[in-house]
Structure 1
Amino acid sequence: MQGLYDKSGGTYGAKRIAGKLKVSGHVINHKRVARLMKELNIKSVIRIAKRTKIEKEQGAGYVYPNFLERHFDASLASQKWVTDISELVVNNVKLFISAIMDLHNREIISIVISYSPNMDFIEKTIRTAMQARGLADMKQIVSVYRSFRHHCLI
Structure 2
Amino acid sequence: MSKGNKEYKEAFGQHIKTLREERGWSQRQLEAVSDLEVSHISSIENGRYAVTLNTILSLAVALGKYPDELFKFDFNLRLNTDFKVQDRKRRSPGTTKALDGLAEGSFFTTPKRVNEVVHHLANEEKIVVQSSIVSAALKRLVDGKRLKRISSTEKKGMFLYQKRLK
> TM-score normalized by structure 1?
0.25
- Structure number with the higher helix fraction is 2
Which of the two has higher C-alpha Rg?
Answer: 1
- Structure number with the higher strand fraction is 1
| Greater relative contact order, per chain length (Cα 8 Å cut-off, separation 6+) | 2
